[in-house]
Structure 1
Amino acid sequence: MGTKPSKIALLISGVFSLTALPTMAAESNQSVTIDDIITVTGTRFDRTSDQQLTVINTIEREEIERLNPKSVADVLEALPGVSVARNGGAGQNTSISLRGTNSSHVLVIIDGVKVGSATLGSVSFNSLSPESIERIEVLKGPRASVWGSDAIGGVIQIFTRQLKNDEWYVGAEYGSNDYIRGSAGVGMEHGEGSSTLSVNREQSNGYDVYQGVDAENDDDGYSRTSITLKGSQALTQQWQALWSGQYDKGNTQYDDKYGSGGADESDFANYIWNLGTQYSGEKLTSKLSVNQSRDYNENFRGDNKDLAIAEFETMRKQVSWSNQYLVADGLNLNGGLDWSNEAVLGDYAQDERDTLGAYILIAKQWQQLLAEVAVRYDDVESIESETTYNVSLAYQFDAHWRLSTTTGTAFKVPTFNDLYWPDSGNPDLLSETSTSYDLTLNYSRNTVSAYVSVFKNDIDNLIAWAPTGEIDDDGWDIWKPANVNNAEISGVEFFTKFSLFGLEHQFAYTYLDTEDKVTEESLIGRSENEFNYSLSYQWQDFDLLASYHYQGKRYAGYEQYLDAYHQLDLGVGYKVSDNWQLRLKANNVFDEDIVSVTNYNSPGRELFFSVSYSVL
C-alpha cells in the first residue's frame, strides 16, 4: 500500500504537464470559441458546462456518426473512466463500468426514464441502437442525492434524436458478418410544437463468440428493431407538453457454453414511454412526468423453442416532479419528489416494491466561488431507507483554470434475485453503499479543453454468494447472497481535446487502483491502465477519423489475467452533395485477438460501408 500514493502522484504530475502542452502549441491569436455544452444529468435541468461541479462527458450526434458504432458500448468506450466488457460482438451481452465500479452501479436513463432489469440489476446495452441516439451524457461519481438508487459509479443519460420540421433522413449500411442496417427519421410540425419519428432495423449473421471446450461451434447472430417518438407542444407562453417513447425488439444467439443442451438464444422486447408537462416562469421552472419502462427477455433453445425456456420481466412505473427556483442572483434551489413501482415476473416471495424519494439541491455562487449541496431521502419497500448527499465546491482562478472538489454518498438496492429468488434469496440484505471523493482541475482556452481528476470510492456491503453455515439434505453447504464484501477504488482520469496543425486531437487516459478488501486482491475485470487517442481531419468534402484504444491486462480471478490489447479503427466519410454522404469504416484494422471476458472472442477485423441521404 505504501507505493500507491507515489504512483498516483507521478501520474498527476504527468497529466498536469500534458495539460499544458496543447496550450503552448496553440497560436496565441486564435479566436475560435468552444461552445458551452448544455447538460441536464447533474441537476435534472439545463446547465452549461462551467456550471457543473462534477465531471460530465458529452457525446453529440455528429461524433456518433463519425464513429459509426455498432453498439452503445462502442460510443462509451472512447471516454475516460469507462470500461467495457463484451461476451462477443455488438449483439452480445455487454457490461459498462464507470471508474472501476460494478456494471450494476451505473444508473442508465433514456429521455428521463430509468431503464434496466430489477432481477439482474443491470441494463441490456446490446438491445439499444446507436442510430436512434442524439446525445449521451456520462456523469462520473455518485449522484444518488439527485437520482436515487444505482448511481454509485455514475449516471449515463441517453437522449433520442429530435429533428426540426421538414428535416428527415434515410440511411443504409452493409458490412462484415453479413451485417445490414436500414434507418429513417422525420421531423413533423404541429402548431406550436413538433415531433420526431425514427425507425432503425439491423441484423448480422454474427460469428462464433465462445471458445470454451464444451461450446457450440456455430455463428451467433443478432437482430434488433428500434422505433422512437419524441416531441413537445407549447400550450401557452409558459406551459409546454412533452412526450417520448421507444420500442426495442430483437433476437440474440449465443453459445450454450456448458454444452448441456440449455438455452442458446433469446428474444427481447423493451419499451419506455414518458408523458410530461413543464412550466417555465421568470424564476420557477417545474417539470412533472409520468412514465413506464419494460425490460423483457425470454431465453430458449434455438432448435427447440419449447426447451429451456426462462422469462424475465421488469415493469417499472415512475412519477417525477422536479423544480428549479432562482431565489436571488447566484442562488438556485432545486428539489422534487420521485415515486416508482417495480414489478417482476416469476415465482418470487415478493414480486413488487414501491420507492418514494425526495431531494433538495442548493447552488450558490460568490464571484469566483461556486458551492453546491444536495441531500436525498429514499424509502424503499422492505429495505432500510437511505439518506445520501453530495457536497461540491469550485473555484474559478481566471477565465481558463478552475479547481473543483466533490464528496458524496450513494447506494444500490438489492435485486429481486438477491432478495427473493426461490430457495436461495436473502430478504435480510442491506443496500450496497459508497462514499467517494473527487478533485478535478479544468482548463479551457480557444480550441483547447482539458481536465485531470483524482478520485477515490469506498464501497461497503457488497452483495456476494456466501455460506450460511447450514447444510442441505445431501450434506452440502447452503450458499445465499450476503453483504460480505468491501472494495476500495482510487485512480486518476485525464482528458483533453485540442486543435493542432489543422488536426483535431482527443486523448483520454485512466489509471485505476482497485482492491477487494476481503481477499486483498484486485477487483476482477479491471485494468490499471486504459487510454484512447483519436485523430480527425476535415478536408473539403472528406472527413477522416483514426481511433486507437489500449486496454491493459485485466485480473480474471484465481491469479489469472486477460492479456492487454490494442485496437485501431479507421473511418472516412465523403459528402457527395449537400444531402448525400458515403462512409467507410474499418474496425480492429490489425485483427487483434481481443478478449475482455474469459473465453469470449472478438469479431476480429470488420469493414462497413454506409450511404445516407439527409435534409437537416
Structure 2
Amino acid sequence: MGTQPSKIALLVSSLISLSAFSAQAEETNITSANIDETITVTGSRFDRTADQQLTVINTIEREEIVRLNPKSVADVLETLPGVSVSRNGGAGQATSISIRGSNSNHVLVLVDGVKVGSATLGTVSFNTLSPENIERIEVLKGPRASVWGSDAIGGVIQIFTRQLSGGEWFAGAEYGSDDYIRGSFGAGMSHGEGSTTIAVNHEQSKGYDVYNGAEVENDDDGYKRNALSLKGSQQINSNWQAIWNGQYDKGNTQYDDIYASGSADESDYENYLWNLAGQYHNDKFTSKLALSQSRDNNENFRGDDASVAIAEFETKRDQVNWSNQYLAADELTLTGGIDWSTEQVKGDYAQDQRDIFAVYALVQKQWSKLLAEVAVRYDDVENIDNELSYNASLAYQFNEQWSFAATTGTAFKAPTFNDLYWPDSGNPELLSETAESYDLTLHFNNQAFRAYISVFQNKIDNLIAWAPTGEKDDFGWDIWKPANINEAKITGVELSAHYQLFGLDHQLGYTYLDAENTQTGEQLIGRSENEFNYMLSYTWLQFDLLANYHYQGKRYAGSEQFLDAYHKLDLSVGYQIDDAWSLRLKANNLFDEEIISDKNYFGPGRELFFSVSYQAF
C-alpha cells in the first residue's frame, strides 16, 4: 500500500474550489420557512421536527446509505462531523466510535429504541451490525442522560431498521475485493391497517492480514455476517396502535491476537433484540408502553482448535419503558416517563445481575422567537449509586435564517461488571463516571445553504483506570485494580454545512479537538486535533456519482508517540437501468493510502465492489 498525497491534495483543492464550504445534513434549527421537515425522535423519544430540536442531531437516510455503499456502520458514521472511528482492521474487525472526543463506552447505542451492547465490556460491537438492514441513523451530539440514562456522555446513536409498505420488496447482490460476497432480500406485507417488513442479509469476506508488526499469524482475517430484521405496526383504531420489531445478528470474525501467541483468534457472535409496544394517541396526549429484551453474546476460541482458549461473554438486558407526551398548550410540551431494566451477565462474577430504575421529565416552552427546554432524570443503579442528570437549553431565532442555541447538561456512565466484579481484580467500590458539558451553536438555513458551528466543552470526572491498591500479592508484586482516578477536559469546535452549487451537492464536516487528561496533562489517546470530511455528489440522467474524502489528523498513541495522519478517498457510481433495476460500482481508498487508525492494525488498501439491486414499489 502506497501514499500519493500530491494526487489527493490536487483532487481536494479542485473539489473545494467549487465551494466555500459545505456539510452533513443537520436537523437542529429553530423554526424557519425553508427548513427540511425531517422528523427525529432521539432527542425526546417522540417525533419532533427540526424546529423543535435544541441539540445537534445529524441524520443519514437510506438514500445516502445506498450511495455510500458502506461495508460497516462505522463507514457511515465516519462521514459525520464530531464522530471519530478507530478500527482494528477492516469491516469485520473490532471498531470504536467516539463522539466529540469522548470514550467509545461513553456513547449510548439504540436499535429501534432498544439499548444494545455489552454490560461486561461496556461497548457495542459495531462490526456485527449490517448496513444493508438500516433505514436511517440519528446521531445526537453531547450528553443526553437526562432522557436516556447511563452511557450518553458523548452522545446517542440510534439506528432504525428498514421499513417497507405492503407490496414493496427488494433484492440485491454484490461482489468485491477479498472475495467479498453479499446477498440481501426484504419485503413488506400488509395486514389491514398495518404492515410488517422482513429483511435478511448475508455477507462474507476472506479478509486480509490485519496485524501491523512482527509476524504473529500469517493469515487472512475474514468474517461472515448474517442479519435478520422484522419491523411492523398495526393501527387498532383511531387512537391505539401496536408496534413490534426484532433484530437477529449471527456471524464469525477472525482476528490477530497481538499480545499472546496461540491464544484465541476467532470470535462467534449471536445477538438479538425484540421489542413489543402499545401506543395511545390523541390530539393532546401520547402514551407508549414498550417491553423489550436484548442479548449480546460472544465466544472467543482458537480457530485451528476450538477447544483451546474458549471464553464466552454474554449480556442479557430486559427493559420496560413507559413514555408520555402532553401538549399542554400550543407552545408548551410536557414529556416524561419511567424506565426499568435488569442486566444479567454470564461468567464467574461475584455479582451477575443488577436492576436500574429511572424516572425522567422534559418541558419545552416557546415564547415568540425564544425556545427553552429543561430535562431532568433520576437513575437508581443497584449496588452502585444514584444519579441525577439534567439538560437545560435556550435558543433564539433572530430571523428566518439565523438562530442561536446554548445548552448545558450532565451525564454519567455506570461501571461495567468487569470493572466491578471481574474475579480477583474487580472493585465493587467504584462510582459512576460523571460529566458536565456546555455547548454554543449558531445555525444558518435558507433554500440554498444550511450550516451550523458549535463550540463545546465536556468535563469528565471519576474516570475509571487501573491503579495500584498499595497491596502486594503472594509474590511481592503490586496489586492493581480499577479506580475512579482520572479526569478529562475536552474542548472543541464542530462545523457542518450543506449546499448546492453548479448542479453539485456539497457536504462538509470539520472537527477541532483539544482533549486532555487533566491529571497527567497528556492528550487523550486516540484523538485527532483535526478531522475533516468532504462529500460531493452529482446526478445526471440515470447516473449518480458520490465522492467522499476523509482526512484524519495524527492521533496520540501514548508514550509520546503519534499515529500518522492519513487521507482516504472513496468513489461510488450508480446507474439506474429502469424504475426497478440499478447497478453500482464502489472504490474504497482509491489511492491505496496506508491507513492505521490503531497502532497495531492495518486498514484495508484499495477495494473495489460491484453490486446489482432490484426494488419493486
Q: TM-score range by the shorter chain?
A: over 0.9
Q: Partner amino acid for 1:179?
A: Y
Aligned residue for 2:469?
468
Aligned residue for 2:499?
498
Q: Tell me by how many angstroms 1:515 deviates.
A: 0.6
Q: Mapping of 1:129-528 within 5 angstroms?
A: 129-528=130-529
Structure-2 separation of matches of 1:482 and 1:214: 35
Instruction: State the Cα deviation string for residues 437-466 of structure 1 (Å, max 9, x = none).
Output: 000001110031100000000000000000
Q: Secondary structure at the match of 1:467?
A: strand
Q: Partner amino acid for 1:192?
A: E
Give the direction of change, closer, same or farther, for the CA distance of 1:471–1:608 in structure 2 (3 Å limit). same
Aligned residue for 1:3?
none
2:295–2:316 CA contact under 8 A, matched in 1:
yes
TM-score by length of 1: 0.95
Structure-1 separation of matches of 2:598 and 2:571: 24
Q: Tell me by how many angstroms 1:35 deviates.
A: 2.3
2:258–2:600 CA contact under 8 A, matched in 1:
no
Q: Tell me by how many angstroms 1:211 deviates.
A: 2.2
Q: Secondary structure at the match of 2:146?
A: helix
Give the direction of change, closer, same or farther, for the CA distance of 1:21–1:302 in structure 2 (3 Å limit). closer
Structure-2 separation of matches of 1:526 and 1:54: 23
Structure-2 separation of matches of 1:20 and 1:595: 30
Q: Secondary structure at the match of 2:249?
A: strand
Q: Mapping of 1:557-568 within 5 angstroms?
A: 557-568=558-569
Aligned residue for 2:4?
none
Instruction: State the Cα deviation string for residues 160-218 of structure 1 (Å, max 9, x = none).
Output: 00000110000000000000000000000001110000000000000001123252110
1:342–1:353 CA contact under 8 A, matched in 2:
yes
Structure-2 separation of matches of 1:366 and 1:94: 44
Structure-2 separation of matches of 1:32 and 1:333: 25
Q: Which moved more, 1:256-265 or 1:604-613?
A: 256-265
Structure-2 separation of matches of 1:280 and 1:218: 57
Give the direction of change, closer, same or farther, for the CA distance of 1:19–1:281 in structure 2 (3 Å limit). farther
Q: Which moved more, 1:224-233 or 1:258-267?
A: 258-267
Structure-1 separation of matches of 2:176 and 2:510: 31
Q: Tell me by how many angstroms 1:32 deviates.
A: 11
Q: Tell me by how many angstroms 1:259 deviates.
A: 4.5
Structure-1 separation of matches of 2:393 and 2:260: 52
Aligned residue for 1:80?
81
Identical columns (%): 72
Aligned residue for 2:111?
110
Q: Tell me by how many angstroms 1:258 deviates.
A: 3.0
Structure-2 separation of matches of 1:68 and 1:437: 35
Aligned residue for 2:68?
67
Instruction: State the Cα deviation string for residues 94-129 of structure 1 (Å, max 9, x = none).
Output: 000000000000000000100000000000000000
Q: Tell me by how many angstroms 1:329 deviates.
A: 1.5
2:22–2:506 CA contact under 8 A, matched in 1:
no
Q: Partner amino acid for 1:229?
A: L
Aligned residue for 1:6?
none
Aligned residue for 1:12?
none
1:425–1:481 CA contact under 8 A, matched in 2:
yes
Q: Tell me by how many angstroms 1:480 deviates.
A: 0.1
Structure-1 separation of matches of 2:278 and 2:603: 45
Aligned residue for 1:11?
none
TM-score by length of 2: 0.95
Q: Mapping of 1:508-587 within 5 angstroms?
A: 508-587=509-588
Q: Tell me by how many angstroms 1:21 deviates.
A: 6.4
2:34–2:445 CA contact under 8 A, matched in 1:
no
Aligned residue for 1:97?
98
Once superposed, what is the RMSD of the aligned Cα atoms? Answer: 1.4
2:504–2:538 CA contact under 8 A, matched in 1:
yes
Structure-1 separation of matches of 2:490 and 2:215: 36
Instruction: State the Cα deviation string for residues 66-108 of structure 1 (Å, max 9, x = none).
Output: 0000000000000000000000000000000000000000000
Give the direction of change, closer, same or farther, for the CA distance of 1:538–1:32 in structure 2 (3 Å limit). farther
2:21–2:508 CA contact under 8 A, matched in 1:
no
Q: Secondary structure at the match of 1:164?
A: coil
Structure-2 separation of matches of 1:599 and 1:320: 41
Q: Partner amino acid for 1:462?
A: L
Structure-2 separation of matches of 1:42 and 1:268: 31
Q: Tell me by how many angstroms 1:256 deviates.
A: 2.2
Aligned residue for 1:10?
none
Q: Tell me by how many angstroms 1:485 deviates.
A: 0.2
Higher relative contact order (CA 8 A, sep 6+): 2
2:566–2:593 CA contact under 8 A, matched in 1:
yes
2:289–2:322 CA contact under 8 A, matched in 1:
yes
Structure-1 separation of matches of 2:36 and 2:497: 15
2:42–2:140 CA contact under 8 A, matched in 1:
yes
Structure 2 runs not aligned, ≥5 long:
1-17, 24-31
Q: Secondary structure at the match of 1:43?
A: coil
Structure-1 separation of matches of 2:330 and 2:129: 42
Structure-1 separation of matches of 2:521 and 2:260: 34
1:332–1:363 CA contact under 8 A, matched in 2:
yes
Instruction: State the Cα deviation string for residues 4-33 of structure 1 (Å, max 9, x = none).
Output: xxxxxxxxxxxxxx998679xxxxxxx995
Structure-2 separation of matches of 1:222 and 1:179: 9
Structure-2 separation of matches of 1:285 and 1:270: 31
Q: Partner amino acid for 1:464?
A: A
Aligned residue for 1:15?
none
Give the direction of change, closer, same or farther, for the CA distance of 1:102–1:202 in structure 2 (3 Å limit). same
Q: Which moved more, 1:329-338 or 1:34-43?
A: 34-43
Structure-2 separation of matches of 1:425 and 1:279: 45
Aligned residue for 2:5?
none
1:32–1:447 CA contact under 8 A, matched in 2:
no
Structure-1 separation of matches of 2:62 and 2:278: 26
Structure-1 separation of matches of 2:299 and 2:425: 22
Structure-2 separation of matches of 1:454 and 1:133: 31
Q: Tell me by how many angstroms 1:55 deviates.
A: 0.3
1:93–1:124 CA contact under 8 A, matched in 2:
yes
1:54–1:139 CA contact under 8 A, matched in 2:
yes
Give the direction of change, closer, same or farther, for the CA distance of 1:588–1:166 in structure 2 (3 Å limit). same
1:19–1:451 CA contact under 8 A, matched in 2:
no
Structure-2 separation of matches of 1:187 and 1:267: 30
Structure-1 separation of matches of 2:580 and 2:34: 27
Give the direction of change, closer, same or farther, for the CA distance of 1:360–1:20 in structure 2 (3 Å limit). farther
Q: Partner amino acid for 1:93?
A: A
Instruction: State the Cα deviation string for residues 508-545 of structure 1 (Å, max 9, x = none).
Output: 00000011011100000001000000110000000001
Aligned residue for 2:610?
609
Q: Partner amino acid for 1:321?
A: W
Q: Partner amino acid for 2:64?
A: E
4+ residue stretches of structure 1 with deviation over 4 A?
18-23, 31-34
Q: Secondary structure at the match of 1:166?
A: coil
How many residues align? The count is: 592
Q: Partner amino acid for 1:111?
A: D
Aligned residue for 2:58?
57
Structure-2 separation of matches of 1:143 and 1:488: 18
2:376–2:390 CA contact under 8 A, matched in 1:
yes
Aligned residue for 2:44?
43
Structure-2 separation of matches of 1:214 and 1:503: 47
Q: Partner amino acid for 1:412?
A: K
1:19–1:450 CA contact under 8 A, matched in 2:
no
Instruction: State the Cα deviation string for residues 129-183 of structure 1 (Å, max 9, x = none).
Output: 0000000000000000000000000000000000001100000000000000000
